[in-house]
Amino acid sequence: MHKINITEKLALFAEHWSPKIVGELNGQHVKLAKLKGEFVWHKHDAEDEMFLVIKGSFRMEYRDKTIVLNEGEFLIVPKGVEHRPVADEEVSIMLFEPASTLNTGDAESELTKHKLDWI
Amino acid sequence: MHKINITEKLALFAEHWSPKIVGELNGQHVKLAKLKGEFVWHKHDAEDEMFLVIKGSFRMEYRDKTIVLNEGEFLIVPKGVEHRPVADEEVSIMLFEPASTLNTGDAESELTKHKLDWI
């Protein structure tokens, strides 16, 4: 029941593509992540996923279109939809998704994080 | 799969204590609300509730303490915990909570909103 300051939490880590958990409610996790470069194409078979830009911008690529997301904008990627986040410059985002969500979904690779840290 | 700009959505309404739905994922709603003044003491028996400050500040009163929340800060109120948001000046917030959540929880009053609009 303490408050979380997003900027302070973001200052605690530098790695890209390594979401950190900052909250949990109703079986969902609130995560912070820094992205830079291209992620892998993937989908989540059972989980919808929300991306909210805290600082910077990035683009979400779908197979048939691309959406540029700027600060203060969010996007919900429905379960089953292939997507790939790409950030030309570093972007800080908040994620809201079920605790069961694996970052790379159905596309396991060296980018897959099986265990996320709380910060 | 379109993006949502929070500032643009906030410009669409002025009422206080009347959350608007702006997204849905995994049975949860993403809502925006403007608060000013004192709400009612209440709790949600089955739902945890997240409050994220977009613009301004407010305080969350619990029975045994008060937490001041500023821009870029969030708080999760666990199910069953009595709380009352109070805003001396208008504050704009984002809420994440199960779609089943009633704004006044167990304390029905003239402030209760049984049906929320999407914007």
Residue ranges per structural domain of chain B: 6-98
What confidence tier does A86 reach under pLDDT thresholds 50, 70, 90? very high
pLDDT, one tens digit per residue, over B8-18 is: 999 999 999 99
- What is the pLDDT at residue A84? 97
pLDDT, one tens digit per residue, over B23-48 is: 999 999 999 999 999 999 999 999 99
Q: Does position A1 have pLDDT exceeding 90, yes or no?
A: no
Complex-level ipTM: 0.95
What confidence tier does A113 reach under pLDDT thresholds 50, 70, 90? very high
Residue to substitute from B4, B8, B22, B25, interface A, most A β-carbons within 10 A: B25
Q: d(Cα A28, Cα A98) in Å, to the nearest integer?
A: 4
Q: Does position B19 have pLDDT exceeding 90, yes or no?
A: yes
Which residues of A fall within a CB distance of 8 Å from B4? 73-75
Q: Does position A97 have pLDDT exceeding 90, yes or no?
A: yes
Please enumerate residues of A whose Cβ is less than 8 A from a Cβ of B: 1-7, 23-26, 28, 30, 47-50, 54, 62, 67, 69-70, 72-78, 81, 96-98
Q: Which of B12, B79, B10 is nearest to B43 (CA)?
A: B79
> CATH classification of A6-98 is 2.60.120.10, yes or no?
yes
Q: What is the mean pLDDT of chain B?
A: 96
Q: With b meaning 16 or more CB within 10 Å and e meaning fewer, what string describes A25-51? A: bbebbbbbbbbbeebbebbbeebbbbb
Inter-chain contact A97–B24, Cβ cutoff 8 Å?
no
Q: d(Cα B77, Cα B66) in Å, to the nearest integer?
A: 12
Q: Does position B1 have pLDDT exceeding 90, yes or no?
A: no
Which residues of A fall within a CB distance of 8 Å from B47? 26
Which residues of B fall within a CB distance of 8 Å from A6? 72-74
What is the mean pLDDT of the segment spanning B47-76?
98
Backbone angles phi, psi at A102, to 5 degrees: -95, 135
Q: Does position B73 have pLDDT exceeding 90, yes or no?
A: yes
